[in-house]
Structure 1
Amino acid sequence: MNHYLKQSLWGVLIGGLTGLGMSTPLLAQSDKTTQEDPALKIYRAAATKVNDLVHTKLDVRFDYAKRYLYGKAWITLKPHFYTTDSLTLDAKGMDIKTVAIVKDGKNIPLKYTYDQQQLQIRLDKSYTAATQYVVFIEYTAKPNELTVKGSAAITDAKGLYFINPDGTEPNKPTQIWTQGETEASSVWFPTIDRTNQKCTQEISMTVQKKYVTLSNGKLVSQKNNADGTRTDTWKMDLPHSPYLFMMAVGEYAVVKDSWRGKEVSYYLEKPYEKYAKQIFGNTPEMLTFFSQLLGYEYPWVKYAQVTGRDYVSGAMENTTATLHGEFMQKTDRELLDNNNYNETVIAHELYHHWFGDLATSESWSNLTVNESSANYSEYLWLEHKYGKDAADENGYEAGVNYLTSLRYSGDKDLVRFHYHDKEDMFDAITYQKGGRILHMLRNIIGDSAFFKSLQVYLKTNAFKATEAHHLRLAFEEVTGQDLNWFFNQWYFGKGFPELDISYKYNETAKTVTVILQQIQRDPKVWQLPMAVDIYEGGKATRHQLTMHNRIDSFTYSYTVKPDLVNVDADKVLLAKMDDHRDFSSYFYQYTHAPLYMDRRDAIEEAIQRQGNDPQAIKLLQLALKDKYHGLRSMVAGKLKLKNSAVKAATIGILTEIAKQDPHALVRAAALENLAELKDPQYKALFVNATKDKSYGVEAAGLSGLATLDADSAYIIAKKLESDAKGKLVSAIVGVYAQKGNAADTGFVSTRFEETSGQDKLNAAFEYLGFLSKVNNTPAVVKGLGQIKGMTDQFKSNQVNTYISNWLDEISRKKSDDAAVVTGTPREELLKQADYMRKASEALKAKIKE
């Protein structure tokens, strides 16, 4: 699963607020992390296996009006080891019609009890581990009538989703899709809904002929029925876990590709059919790359990818049939601003077909065995396809996401046998921290041993349930090393090291001593292997060291005093580091050390010093022409142009970047910074940018123009309305908010309604920013109703808290505005303030529930 919401939530929330000039409300931390929580005292063991799933055969049809699934299930099982005369199946919120044992083609009724969560079945006799048996169940699944709890990563857990089933929403297709992780497959079919279960499957779906279907495995038959429907049967011959079962139904365009004789296909809404290869076209190359890298060829019969409206979880690696949120559907113009994000999601879900689908974590406590690997696949793909700079940027952002998350939820073990709820496992520790840990391990043992170890892990554990120790044993088998120290430190513990780095030079002895001190509050002492590069006369000499103690020092000889001592020269440590050295060494680092993080660290130092250090300004001049667009964009956005020296040294380069940098994100960053000057000489530049192919550049140009000539920006915004997506929509809403014209409510309201999935969060903040500037009570009432609908969808206390706090701020602003006007305008503003206040109170009441 791609953890899209959790990775992007804070940036979306804060960016949405500050982008419209609002202050950022504080978010109250959850009390679930406190040790007083009794749930944290429960040891979360892997599920005990009494019976094993062998095969699941389903025959289903759908009632769109009722949001029901009518199903028949034939479940083949066998006792795991001990003889048993009973069976427990997960079956959430169903009507159970029949429970029977299948004998000689006949259904013989069985006794059972059902509590709306589990079926407790008394078998017809005792069965031994050598004997299989088949249970038949006829049932009705009613997902919309089930009360369920989601998480920050998976915002709902109904298992089966009917999207616009009545066709009443004109801009939304009618679809059905499923989401099984964590344990929601048992909402739509009876099963043993545990990750350490695996079975083959066959699913027959009866649908209207106009619909396309998708499920796991291969489409083995299509049969037209007398009632005008069609039954599609999908068969999966290799075993996988129930949470990976899937269905999708809709009026999709299907674009076919292939890889080594296997079908590769892309299911999209029809308007995006012509962009399918631009969105998904690198999938066959990924299949080749990962198969070769892992020494284990993609094992499944096909690979399909489908999009789902209002999808609750970013993307999900259902075996052979990944489901993506609709954010994956982008035009060629939108992809210019995407910075390879779509591809990292595609890589993440595909890599799961080895790590997660083939070898599956045996419990949610071990979830990181699946998710850290998939997270790290993003790095591996970017490194292969776009170079090490792009990969290292991804790695840096992963580390920042992990460290940022600690402000809100605290630190926890990577492999976690104590948690409040299984949904809490889907966090930046499991994903991003886990991925960074794999990167460190790769650096310690070397590429050849690292990828050979992954191959051994996969071949040893194919179609099995695994835990972190299986991964450790594979690495130990290949390397011949005892790696308990690494796994105990990183996998079965929490935290990270904080290093204070200083240097002592002895010119007489021609030595430099590197002094490393661990300053983290935790008494834990980390064992930290790392490289140190010492640069003399333009050449680097590498030294390997391992820090074992709270304070260690390492002394190295030199001939000429080094220009740079580069600690953690491979830039792999997941650590906070305070490196005490002068800026000249950072300048040298930028121009001589090769890695993205070498250059980024130097740039960040220069950004901090740019106001009063000529050498820092010179470095930023160089960095504006860096070979990697991500660093050019970073510098372009952070130049302090109001400083005369900075402006004099960089304005010419920045203006040229705004006009003609080959990467849209760099052009946009330069335009956004130039807009801060509010200098009329750039008006033509901004106007010209509103004609760019990139929506992001158009947005930057429009926003820049609005700072100089609000009326001209408004006229252009009106012209851009008809083809506006992404950041351009935000820019148009910002222009309309600046104008404060209630007549523009229709555009803002409609675009909010058309947005779904995680993108709706940002759209909500933009909508509220607009409503804060408009004195129109019907618009406020309508907008608050729409935003309430969004909060009902997300069911997130974090989102509710932010929106509630912002509503309070807008309410105060409208009350203040009312104090300086009279008559009807004053009355309307007070009404709006009251609506905002009441909406905030309603959200706060939800939070307390």
Structure 2
Amino acid sequence: MQLMEIPLKKMATGCLLASMAYTAPAWGQAKNDTSWKHEYRASATKINDLVHTKLAVSFDYDKSYMYGKAWITLEPHFYPTDSLTLDAKGMDIRKVAMVEESGNKPLKYTYDSTQLHIGLGKTYMGKERYTIWIDYVSRPNELKPTGSAAITDAKGLYFINPKGTDKKKPTQIWTQGETESNSAWFPTIDKPDQKTTEEIEMTVPSKYVTLSNGLLVNQRKNADGTRTDTWKMDLPHAPYLFFMGVGDYAIIKDSYKGKEVAYYVEKEYAPVARRIFGLTPEMIAFYSKVLGIDFPWAKYDQIVGRDYVSGAMENTTSTLHEEHAQQNARQLTDGNQWEGTIAHELFHQWFGDLVTCESWSNLTVNESFANFSETLWAEHKWGKDAGDEHNYSDMQDYIRSGESDKNLVRFYYQDREDVLDAVTYNKGGRILNMLRYYVGDSAFFQALHLYLTENKFKTGEAHQLRLAFEDITGQDLNWYWNQWYYGSGQPNVTIDYNYDDAAGKVTVHIQQTQAGHAFILPFAIDVYSGNNKERHQVWMRSKDETYTFSYTTHPDLVNVDGDKILLWTKNDKKTAANYIFQYKNAGKYVDRKEAIEYASRHQDDPSVRAFLLTAFHDRYKGLRIDAIDAINPENAEMVTAALPELATIASNDKEPTVRAKALEILAQVKDPSYMPLFDKSVKDSSYSVAGQALEGIYNLDQAKGLALAQQQRSDARGKLSETIAKILLINARPEDFPFIIETYEQLEPGQAKFESTDKFCEFLAQVKDTALFQRGVDDVLKFRNVIPDNENYAFARNMITSKLKSVGTKKRTAGDQAMADYVDKLLAQ
């Protein structure tokens, strides 16, 4: 599963807080309840094992019901048993029977709305198979589940615009199983350590297409205008990975070694479907090669669902993506923002689907790998800088998450969805990347191959992963697993240097300053003198270590962690000259990134200003953007030196996102001489470039900017849409209100939405249309609720709450008590 990403900036300090996958405690749970700290979360005990699941389902679009019949084949795991307990949430259970040759034999059962307890009528011995038949109704909208910030709902089955009343939204059905929500639409043992083959017959209106796990083996037209599609999955997988999708989709087909690779998109996006998803066959080939295990399933399809409750989900052979995956041609000009997610979900087909975590405590063997795979893919497809950028960015997101007190393998948690967080994703991915460097690529991928081969179609945990690595490397790796998998936190270090030219020695003093134990760290220290580099492999085993190296020429740089892969925070006492040399000579992405970050804080130094100008032309687009963004607008000398360079970049850089960043700075200057550049750029095919240019125009000529905003609103997304909405907010007219609210709704949770919320709430105070007002308030509250509820993000949540309260207050002064009461009611929930 890929979670939503939230970048937020703490305005008081200017410190970037996060761009991360996150989660908060499940709704409705008392925050002061700490009893969970003493409840060990073991793997689910197996009394009965699922063997095969057959479903026959049809849908009532008026009631949002699903009518189902289930044939569930099971066997006792080991010990004899005369009973069966199935998870079945919020259903109407009509009949339960044992399937026998002579016919179905009714069985006694009790049902408490979450679990179905069935008496089997006799004792079955270990591995003695039997089949249960259940007639039931799933009523997901009547279910009252708890969700979390990671997965915002847990109904399992979702009817989207089922009656077609919203003309702007398609009618769809999709399911979401992780963590244990699929038992809201079919009875099962809803635990990750169960595996079952599957067959689903779906009866739907003939105008719709269907998608499920495995292969479509039969289609039958019915006399009532419906069609029954039969999907069959011959290989076992976990119940939470079952999937159904129904809707009016275009199906764009690719292939990999004769296997279907298809993309289910809304018809508007059919022309660009391959630009969004078309790298999938290449990804499959790459992952198959590095893992030494060819894609294990019969096909691989991807589908996009409206109003999805998370980012994406790796249902076996049938990944579901949220609607932001669908980008039009102008959005894709800036790059496919969903590519990393596509790679992430695909890698799950091995790590998560082929081998599944045996418990949610061990979710790292699913999600850490999928997170790490994004680095692998970026490195393979776009180069080492792109891979290192992803790795570094996710590392910083974890460090800023405020979750360093959590173990990666977590046997104590309040809610199972708590483990869907920056530790499991971001930190876990970095731990794998460090391990890759420590053992080497060949051993790393051979160990993954062994782990997958030994545990395929079964479950895995972190210790099984360790044993695979030990088998391949011949090393005892308990030290690594104990500190990174079964421990918490990361080292925080201070690094000092002392040069003694008379003795020809440099001393490097590294001190770990975190509370608690010392981390054991193997790494390289590179000593540079001109073009000569000497590498020294060292181990840090205590909190305070000193390393001494000899030299004949005074070093230009001593570069600790020369591979730049350690997960730590550091106070590195390098000089400006050291960092500039590091940028030019060490050369890795993080080497250059650190130099640019240093330059952002030291622009009073002429050598730093000169260096930063050269960084505007870094070979990697991400660092060009960082260098431009590092400009201190209050440093007149830096700004004066940078502007001519930025004007050239805004016109000529081959990357639209770099041109847009240069235009962003130029727009803030409000220099009329840049108006021709803005006029040219506002017509650019890139929304980012056009949006920044429009902001520049508005800053120089408000009437002209407003006119352009009104003209371009019909084809606006991304930065262009944000700029237009901001301009229309300032010049709010009643006829613009629907566009403004729709634009705010479409903003992904993050920095842009946070910065828009203040003005948006002021705008809501002017809205007289009750439906529009409530729609706007609902989305502001929805945004507030997905911001992590911890001290790092308290400023954001408190600001939004305060603004919502002010909306209610202003409405009272306008005499509209009903709207004020609506705000108060929501805030009180």
Same fold (TM over 0.5): yes
Are 1:322 and 2:314 counterparts?
no
Tell me the CA shift for residue 36 of structure 1. 6.0
Q: 1:210 aligns with which of 207, 211, 231?
A: 207
**Superposition pairs of residues 474-485 of structure 1, within 5 angstroms:** 474-485=468-479
Cα shift readout 1:299-325 (whole Å, capped 9, x = no counterpart) = 000000000000001100000000000
What residue is the counterpart of 1:377 in the other structure? 373
Change (3 A) 1:760 1:498: closer
CA contact (8 A) 1:655 1:670 kept: yes
Q: Determine helix, strand or coil for the equivalent of 2:207.
A: coil
What residue is the counterpart of 2:79 in the other structure? 82
Change (3 A) 1:588 1:230: same
Q: Determine helix, strand or coil for the equivalent of 2:150.
A: coil
What residue is the counterpart of 2:423 in the other structure? 429
Change (3 A) 1:247 1:28: closer
Q: 2:565 aligns with which of 540, 565, 572?
A: 572
CA contact (8 A) 1:807 1:837 kept: no
Distance (whole Å) between structure 2 residues aligned to residue 377 and residue 74 of structure 1? 37
CA contact (8 A) 2:107 2:119 kept: yes
Q: Which amino acid aligns with 2:38?
A: K
Change (3 A) 1:806 1:518: same
Cα shift readout 1:206-264 (whole Å, capped 9, x = no counterpart) = 00100000000000000011111100000000000000000000000000100001000
Q: Determine helix, strand or coil for the equivalent of 2:625.
A: helix
Are 1:313 and 2:305 counterparts?
no
What residue is the counterpart of 1:464 in the other structure? 458
What residue is the counterpart of 1:769 in the other structure? 759
What residue is the counterpart of 2:393 in the other structure? 397
What residue is the counterpart of 2:133 in the other structure? 136
What residue is the counterpart of 1:659 in the other structure? 651
Q: Determine helix, strand or coil for the equivalent of 1:493.
A: coil
CA contact (8 A) 1:254 1:266 kept: yes
Change (3 A) 1:242 1:713: same
Are 1:358 and 2:354 counterparts?
yes
Q: 2:108 aligns with which of 99, 104, 111?
A: 111
Q: Which moved more, 1:662-671 or 1:793-802?
A: 793-802
Distance (whole Å) between structure 1 residues aligned to residue 677 and residue 661 of structure 2? 14
Are 1:700 and 2:692 counterparts?
yes
Tell me the CA shift for residue 830 of structure 1. 3.1
What residue is the counterpart of 1:796 in the other structure? 785
CA contact (8 A) 2:158 2:173 kept: yes
Q: 1:523 aligns with which of 512, 516, 519?
A: 516
Q: Determine helix, strand or coil for the equivalent of 2:128.
A: coil
Are 1:178 and 2:158 counterparts?
no
Unaligned runs of 5+ in 2: 15-21
Q: 1:166 aligns with which of 159, 163, 166?
A: 163
Tell me the CA shift for residue 284 of structure 1. 0.4
Are 1:347 and 2:343 counterparts?
yes
Change (3 A) 1:177 1:809: closer
Change (3 A) 1:773 1:144: closer
Q: Determine helix, strand or coil for the equivalent of 2:52.
A: strand
CA contact (8 A) 2:24 2:148 kept: no
Change (3 A) 1:829 1:113: closer
Distance (whole Å) between structure 2 residues aligned to residue 73 and residue 594 of structure 1? 60
Are 1:252 and 2:245 counterparts?
no
Are 1:552 and 2:549 counterparts?
no
What residue is the counterpart of 2:532 in the other structure? 539
User: Percent identity at matched positions?
Assistant: 50
Change (3 A) 1:152 1:128: same
Tell me the CA shift for residue 479 of structure 1. 0.3
Change (3 A) 1:142 1:750: same
Q: Determine helix, strand or coil for the equivalent of 1:675.
A: helix
Q: Which moved more, 1:647-656 or 1:209-218?
A: 647-656
Distance (whole Å) between structure 1 residues aligned to residue 377 and residue 188 of structure 2? 35
CA contact (8 A) 1:155 1:796 kept: no
Q: Which amino acid aligns with 2:766?
A: N
What residue is the counterpart of 1:387 in the other structure? 383
Q: Which amino acid aligns with 1:696?
A: S
**Superposition pairs of residues 661-676 of structure 1, within 5 angstroms:** 661-676=653-668
Are 1:786 and 2:775 counterparts?
yes
Distance (whole Å) between structure 2 residues aligned to residue 66 and residue 304 of structure 1? 29
Are 1:416 and 2:427 counterparts?
no
Change (3 A) 1:10 1:526: same
Distance (whole Å) between structure 1 residues aligned to residue 819 and residue 657 of structure 2? 36
Q: Which moved more, 1:485-494 or 1:668-677?
A: 668-677
TM value normalised by structure 1: 0.92
Change (3 A) 1:50 1:587: same
Tell me the CA shift for residue 844 of structure 1. 3.2
Tell me the CA shift for residue 791 of structure 1. 6.5
**Superposition pairs of residues 17-166 of structure 1, within 5 angstroms:** 37-104=34-101, 106-166=103-163
Are 1:643 and 2:640 counterparts?
no
Unaligned runs of 5+ in 1: 19-26, 816-826
Change (3 A) 1:828 1:50: closer
Change (3 A) 1:811 1:191: closer
Distance (whole Å) between structure 1 residues aligned to residue 73 and residue 338 of structure 2? 39
What residue is the counterpart of 1:21 in the other structure? none
Are 1:830 and 2:824 counterparts?
no
CA contact (8 A) 1:203 1:235 kept: yes
Change (3 A) 1:28 1:221: closer
CA contact (8 A) 2:811 2:820 kept: no
Distance (whole Å) between structure 1 residues aligned to residue 170 and residue 806 of structure 2? 40
Tell me the CA shift for residue 843 of structure 1. 3.7
Q: Determine helix, strand or coil for the equivalent of 1:686.
A: helix
Change (3 A) 1:835 1:481: farther
Q: Which moved more, 1:391-400 or 1:159-168?
A: 391-400
Tell me the CA shift for residue 741 of structure 1. 3.2
Distance (whole Å) between structure 2 residues aligned to residue 845 and residue 784 of structure 1? 18
CA contact (8 A) 1:349 1:374 kept: yes
Change (3 A) 1:743 1:499: same
CA contact (8 A) 1:811 1:832 kept: no
Distance (whole Å) between structure 2 residues aligned to residue 113 and residue 451 of structure 1? 49
Distance (whole Å) between structure 1 residues aligned to residue 346 and residue 437 of structure 2? 24
Distance (whole Å) between structure 1 residues aligned to residue 618 and residue 665 of structure 2? 18
Tell me the CA shift for residue 689 of structure 1. 1.6
Change (3 A) 1:179 1:443: same
Q: Determine helix, strand or coil for the equivalent of 1:48.
A: coil
Cα shift readout 1:536-572 (whole Å, capped 9, x = no counterpart) = 1212111100100111111111110110000001111
CA-based RMSD = 2.6
Q: Which amino acid aligns with 1:38?
A: S
CA contact (8 A) 1:741 1:774 kept: no
Tell me the CA shift for residue 283 of structure 1. 0.3
Distance (whole Å) between structure 1 residues aligned to residue 24 and residue 139 of structure 2? 35
TM value normalised by structure 2: 0.94
What residue is the counterpart of 2:825 in the other structure? 842
Q: Which amino acid aligns with 2:446?
A: K
CA contact (8 A) 1:51 1:78 kept: yes
Distance (whole Å) between structure 2 residues aligned to residue 761 and residue 98 of structure 1? 52
**Superposition pairs of residues 623-642 of structure 1, within 5 angstroms:** 623-642=615-634
Distance (whole Å) between structure 2 residues aligned to residue 762 and residue 573 of structure 1? 31
Change (3 A) 1:346 1:828: closer
Distance (whole Å) between structure 1 residues aligned to residue 729 and residue 118 of structure 2? 61
CA contact (8 A) 2:24 2:150 kept: no
Change (3 A) 1:568 1:832: farther
